[in-house]
Every structure is written in structure tokens, then in C-alpha cells.
């Protein structure tokens, strides 16, 4: 049998070791002789560095999915987490060797060294690093608001091109399935005929009116609304599933003697009413707004400005105090851009005012104080600590 020119005998290996002035006692007893396979190219393979959690995920037969449109930076998702993908270079060439064994898996002894002929299948000078990150959800609401659900009268007449199933959303949104489901619940989305839909805001407020008027007419407590009676009374006006969906969004479900009750969330009801008042106003005199707001919510509920943290901004500067709509969901998901937007709106912020607009940017074990230290400069104004941009901001 003709010997491959790339193969080495033990004697040739020992001669090479001697020429290199290495001590055989310092080497492993199993010796790999490396050779390149035919047509090996560096572009044939990509390497990815996984932590123990992701390794176990793969070993358990689970999958990893890379998500992102052409104009987006790709992310990698498991079933419940999202990771940023970043290319890292290495000064040492990384060789891909199939069935490569670590020293503790090798046989051989000092008295009988073993030569193993090993073929290289590929090589890389870079690899993908993974870093856990926040899911990118801004696009989710944009997609669902292309065709919001406005009630049963238009049901079945919508263009299916602007409707999305869960599979469609997973193809478009850079998030894991669990993170996506959690966000769908946060934005009050629901499934209608197999598609995920967001309720049109006016329709959602219409449902709020139906429920609160019924509570008032029946003299029920907001903390104990009977589900079945509520559905029976309102189903002639709106679909049963929409009333129940609204109760799930704005109330907390409980069971008593096999009957289901809902305790309405005062903060959510008051907040929705405030958003209705603010949506068409550039600025609202704060005192007047608070009066109208309190008059607009169901009797027995109390309004407080802290219910609007992350939804509206109060300006107590020169002149009468004012309030305007500013929802955190409308701001950029990019940290630098978010701070630029905020400092373009207002030159100086107190920590209490800016915190609701940056806390969602915090990573694991990161605080808003750490973000402010990195992206803002602090000073004292009239005895109050305020923050401004570290760089000039275009207005």
C-alpha cells in the first residue's frame, strides 16, 4: 500500500521533535499529524462560541434560530432568550478537526507513543460571539397597527397581506417565542381567526365604556366584576371573546365558588382614559388636565400622575405647568439614539423624570444609574440633581 505523503511515522515525528529542540516528556503520548483535506476553504464554515447554557440547549436537541431582515443586524434566539451576534477576530488560526479528542480522551503511554493521522476539514480566523440582549420589539406594534382590529363589522374583509400569524411574526420580529408572547400580552394583542391583532385604541376605549357603564348600572364593585353576567349582558353589543379579552387586559382574574370574577386595575383604566385625552393635544395645561381626567374616569377611581410614568411628560418649567403625551414605546430601541431623542426634547432631566424612559434599556444586572453615568452628565440646579447630554444634540 502506498503511503500518503502527508502521513508521518513515529520515527519522523520523533526526528521533528528533536530538530525543534522539544522534550518528548513534555508532550502528550498521543501525537496528531495534521494534514489539509482537498478543497479546504476558510469560507466553508463559521464558528460560534456558546456558553454552558447554550451548549446544553443544543445537546438536548433544541434549536437556535438566527432572525433579522436584510436591513437589520442579525440576532440569535433560543425558545426564551435573544442574543446579539458579534464577529470576533483571533490572532491564532482555528482549525476544524472532526472527531478531535481532548488529552483525557486519548490512549497511549510513555513506553508506546501513538501517532494519529488527522485531516483538517476547515479553518477560520474569526468566530461569532454571543451576548444576551433585549429583544427588539418596536417593529411588532408597527406591523400589528397596519391593520388594527376595529370591531366585528369589518371581520373577514381585511387584506390578509397585512395580517400576521405567530409564524409570520417569528419570521419578522427579532425575539424568542416566549419574549414575543410576553410582548403580545403587554400590548393587549389577541388572536382573531388565527391572526394576531391589536385592538384599535378607539375600539378598546369603546369596550372600556361598555364595561364601566354596566358596572355602574349594576352597582358592582370594581374589585369584583362577575365574568359570566358581564359577558351575557354585553354580548349583544360586542363579541363575547372581545369583552373577555378586555377584562383580561384591564383586570385580574379570580375564582370564588366556581364563579369567575375580575378586579379592574385602577391604574390601567385611569391611564387609558388619560391617553384618550392627551392623544390629540400637543400640550395640556396640567391643572386643567387633572380636573378633566378625574371627571372622565369611572366614579370611585382616583387619578394620579405616577400612573402616567413612561406615557406622559410633565413640564414644570417657566410658565404654567403642562403635560404632553410621550410614550416610551415610541422612542428608539438603540441606547445612544434614545438618549439623543430625550435630550433633544429637554436639555436637562431630573432622575425621576428620565428613569421611566430609560429603564427598559437596562441589561442584566444593570441599573438606570449606571446608564446615566455612561450616557449623561450630572449637575446641580437649584439644589436638584439634573442630567444633560455628554455631547451636543441637534434639535
Q: Residue 23's pLDDT band (boundaries 50, 70, 90)?
A: confident
CA gap 316, 322 in Å, rounded: 7
306 φψ region: left (φ > 0), alpha (ψ -120 to 50), beta (else):
alpha
Residues 133-182: tens digit of each pLDDT: 889 999 999 999 999 999 887 666 777 888 999 999 999 999 999 999 99
- pLDDT exceeds cutoff 90 at 82: yes
Residues 363-391: tens digit of each pLDDT: 778 899 999 999 999 999 888 999 999 87
Average pLDDT over residues 228-246: 95
pLDDT for 75: 92
pLDDT for 1: 32
- pLDDT exceeds cutoff 50 at 3: no
- pLDDT exceeds cutoff 70 at 63: yes
CA gap 369, 355 in Å, rounded: 9
Q: 31-45, 239-253, 315-329: which has the minimum mean pLDDT?
A: 31-45
- pTM here is 0.81
* Alpha carbon separation from 311 to 283, 300, 318, 330 (Å, rounded): 14, 23, 22, 10
Amino acid at each position: 500500500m502506498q503511503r500518503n505523503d502527508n502521513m508521518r511515522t513515529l520515527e519522523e515525528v520523533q526526528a521533528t521533535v528533536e530538530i525543534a529542540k522539544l522534550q518528548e516528556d513534555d508532550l502528550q503520548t498521543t501525537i496528531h499529524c495534521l494534514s489539509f483535506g482537498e478543497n479546504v476553504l476558510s469560507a466553508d464554515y463559521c464558528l460560534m462560541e456558546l456558553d454552558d447554557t447554550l451548549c446544553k440547549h443544543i445537546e438536548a436537541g433544541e434549536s437556535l434560530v438566527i432572525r433579522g431582515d436584510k436591513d437589520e443586524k442579525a440576532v440569535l434566539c433560543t425558545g426564551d432568550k435573544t442574543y446579539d451576534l458579534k464577529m470576533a477576530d483571533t490572532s491564532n488560526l482555528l482549525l476544524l478537526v472532526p472527531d478531535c479528542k481532548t488529552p483525557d480522551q486519548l490512549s497511549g503511554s510513555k513506553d508506546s507513543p501513538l501517532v494519529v493521522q488527522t485531516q483538517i476539514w476547515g479553518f477560520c480566523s474569526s468566530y461569532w460571539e454571543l451576548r444576551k440582549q433585549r429583544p427588539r420589539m418596536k417593529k411588532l406594534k408597527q406591523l400589528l397597527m397596519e391593520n388594527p382590529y376595529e370591531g366585528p363589522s369589518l371581520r373577514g374583509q381585511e387584506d390578509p397581506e397585512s395580517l400576521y400569524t405567530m409564524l409570520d411574526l417569528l419570521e419578522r420580529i427579532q425575539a424568542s417565542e416566549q419574549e414575543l408572547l410576553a410582548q403580545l400580552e403587554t400590548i393587549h394583542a389577541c388572536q382573531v381567526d388565527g391572526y394576531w391583532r391589536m385592538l384599535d385604541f378607539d375600539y378598546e376605549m369603546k369596550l372600556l365604556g361598555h364595561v364601566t357603564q354596566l358596572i355602574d348600572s349594576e352597582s358592582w364593585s370594581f374589585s369584583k366584576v362577575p365574568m359570566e353576567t358581564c359577558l351575557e349582558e354585553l354580548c349583544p353589543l360586542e363579541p363575547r371573546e372581545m369583552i373577555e379579552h378586555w377584562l383580561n387586559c384591564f383586570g385580574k382574574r379570580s375564582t370564588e365558588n366556581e364563579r369567575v370574577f375580575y378586579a379592574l386595575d385602577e391604574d390601567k383604566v385611569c391611564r387609558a382614559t388619560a391617553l384618550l385625552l392627551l392623544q390629540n393635544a400637543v400640550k395640556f395645561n396640567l391643572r386643567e388636565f387633572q380636573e378633566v381626567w378625574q371627571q372622565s374616569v369611572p366614579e370611585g377611581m382616583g387619578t394620579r400622575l405616577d400612573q402616567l410614568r413612561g406615557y406622559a411628560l410633565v413640564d414644570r418649567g417657566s410658565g404654567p405647568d403642562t403635560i404632553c403625551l410621550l410614550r416610551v414605546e415610541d422612542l428608539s430601541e438603540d441606547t445612544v439614539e434614545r438618549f439623543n431623542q430625550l435630550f433633544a426634547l429637554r436639555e436637562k432631566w431630573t432622575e425621576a423624570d428620565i428613569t421611566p424612559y430609560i429603564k427598559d434599556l437596562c441589561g442584566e444586572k444593570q441599573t438606570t444609574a449606571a446608564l446615566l453615568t455612561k450616557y449623561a452628565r450630572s449637575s446641580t440646579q437649584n439644589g436638584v440633581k439634573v442630567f444633560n447630554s455628554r455631547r451636543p444634540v441637534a434639535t
